[in-house]
Amino acid sequence: MRGIGAIYRREINSYFTSPVAYVIITAFLFIAGFIFYNLLSYFALQCIQSVRYAQLYHTVPPPMNINTWVVTPFMQNLAFTFIIIIPLLTMRLFAEEKRQGTMEMLLTAPVSSWEIILGKFLAATTVFLVMLALTFIYQVMLIIYGKPDIPPVLGGYLGIFLFGLALIALGMFISSLTKNQIVAAFISIVLFLFLWIINWSSIFTTRTAIQDTLSYLSITEHLREFIKGVVDTKSLVFFLSLTFLGLFLTDKSLQIWRWKG
């Protein structure tokens, strides 16, 4: 545990003693705020137009569900934004160690490979949680003024949290494969986009088994359940399994590096 704490503090310091974390967090909050503002503005415009239409034709305005118009698309766009943001957090975790020549020193330190992995993983997760928590301000505003259904809000954030853990673990594994941060970020983004759109190809096949497999491998399918406010055990297991897979592959990558060294 001491080894994990030491690696964690080292990584957190490297994030926040350089402009990296601040630039990433600022860029993310700008994008999230822009998305939220546009969704809310469009929702308000639709409400005004529906009221005017009802007054013009002397009818009752149709109900406008803020969850459908704002909460759900915000969660979906937020998750997609993390596909770009998380690789920027994970690209340096091991690639930078290799580039600076400190990888050998790290692997020969009196800490296990799992302590190194978990320390770095928790540090990246901390930065991710800071970003995610800051966006909850928007949901508080909706809860105060818009009265959305609470389960989809909480379920959506739980889903994005688990989604983020999986991406961080996979991104860290990819970072352990290369010395180049840009290459690590690019490969991570490509992989995450593939997992995002993999179920699209299911429309081109009539085989139920293939459709079910592609749907299960799609992160969007599992995330959609959480955004609905449904905590599905299958989706929970999927994200946790993907997270463990990323950590496990990172450990194997470090063992190969140690063996080659």
pLDDT at 45: 87
What pLDDT score does 47 carry? 79
pTM metric for this prediction: 0.91
Residues (pLDDT < 70) of the chain are 57, 60-62, 201-207, 260-261
Three-state DSSP string of the chain: CHHHHHHHHHHHHHHHCCHHHHHHHHHHHHHHHHHHHHHHHHHHHHHHHHHHHHHHHCCCCCCCCHHHHHHHHHHHHHHHHHHHHHHHHHCCCCHHHHHHCCHHHHHCCCCCHHHHHHHHHHHHHHHHHHHHHHHHHHHHHHHHHCCCCHHHHHHHHHHHHHHHHHHHHHHHHHHCCCCCHHHHHHHHHHHHHHHHHHHHHHHHCCCHHHHHHHHHHCHHHHHHHHHCCCCCHHHHHHHHHHHHHHHHHHHHHHHHHHHHC
pLDDT at 105: 79
User: Which pLDDT score, from 0 to 100, does residue 112 have?
Assistant: 85
Per-residue pLDDT reduced to its tens digit, 3-30: 888 889 989 988 888 888 899 999 999 9
Sketch the domain layout of the chain as residue ranges. Answer: 2-260
pLDDT for 50 equals 79
